[in-house]
């Protein structure tokens, strides 16, 4: 559906450019936007490589394992129906750690693996389980201590102080995560009634 929407907007932009005699401006904007997109991708690739490398070093050093153990009480609270030694706990913890560090790219593969494993635990395959919904809510609310993506975007677009959003970002994501956790707990209780 989005492909049709984007395609429609591009075609309309070209048609309007031709009808108004401003097709050269459309061409110039297309070239400039393409150049800017490539530049942004290269910048984001650098940030992604740095933080994914740091995550791999942290995993090799045992830091991720220690953080996973530290998250076990939270995981038990949020996902009481998941068996304690199931591999999905590690995937969920890795996803949460990557999100806390602002590494959405590193969080995505673990999130997909977690959702796949949660589906195998789901008794009703036609509907998402409470655990699947809880994981999705926690993943979307995404507590972030270091919003790497936004800092990278701000840096790319010439912000004088790209890290000045750290405080507001931490406050906003703390509230969104708190609301997500409360909603998940209340929804779990209401589903069991």
The answer to whether residue 63 is domain-embedded is yes
Which domain range does residue 69 map to? Answer: 49-192
Inter-residue contact 103 to 51 (CB < 8 Å):
yes
Q: Is the alpha carbon torsion for 169, 178, 105, 128 positive or negative?
A: negative
The answer to whether residue 159 is domain-embedded is yes
Q: Residue 169 contacts by C-beta under 8 Å, 6 or more apart in sequence? A: 144, 147, 150
The answer to whether residue 24 is domain-embedded is no
* Residue-level pLDDT, tens digit, the chain, 193 residues: 778 898 898 889 888 888 888 888 888 988 888 888 888 788 778 877 777 787 778 878 988 788 888 888 988 888 988 988 888 888 898 888 888 877 777 788 888 999 999 998 887 777 888 899 999 998 888 888 888 778 877 887 888 998 898 889 889 989 998 998 898 888 888 877 6
Token digits of residue 70: 């530290």
The answer to whether residue 131 is domain-embedded is yes
> Crossing angle for the helix pair 63-78 and 166-192, nearest 10 degrees?
40
Does the pTM of the predicted model rise above 0.75? Answer: no
Token digits of residue 52: 């994914």
Total domains in the chain come to 1
- pLDDT of 108 reads 81
Which residue stretches of 22-103 are H helix?
A: 23-60, 63-78, 88-100
CA distance 17 to 9: 12
- pLDDT of 179 reads 92
The answer to whether residue 120 is domain-embedded is yes
């Amino acid at each position: 559906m989005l492909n049709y929407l984007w395609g429609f907007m591009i075609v309309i932009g070209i048609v309007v450019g031709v009808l108004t005699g401003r097709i050269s401006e459309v061409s110039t904007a297309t070239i400039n936007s393409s150049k800017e997109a490539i530049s942004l991708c290269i910048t984001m690739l650098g940030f992604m490589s740095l933080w994914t490398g740091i995550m791999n070093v942290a995993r090799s050093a045992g830091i991720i394992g220690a953080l996973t153990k530290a998250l076990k009480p939270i995981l038990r609270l949020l996902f009481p129906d998941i068996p304690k030694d199931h591999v999905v706990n590690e995937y969920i913890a890795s996803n949460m750690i990557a999100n806390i560090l602002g590494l959405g790219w590193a969080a995505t593969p673990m999130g997909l693996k977690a959702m796949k494993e949660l589906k195998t635990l789901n008794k009703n395959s036609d509907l998402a389980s409470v655990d699947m919904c809880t994981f999705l809510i926690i993943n979307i609310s995404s507590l972030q201590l270091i919003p790497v993506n936004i800092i990278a975007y701000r840096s790319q677009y010439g912000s004088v102080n790209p890290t000045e959003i750290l405080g507001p970002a931490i406050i906003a994501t703390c509230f969104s995560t708190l609301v997500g956790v409360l909603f998940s707990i209340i929804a779990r209780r209401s589903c069991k009634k």
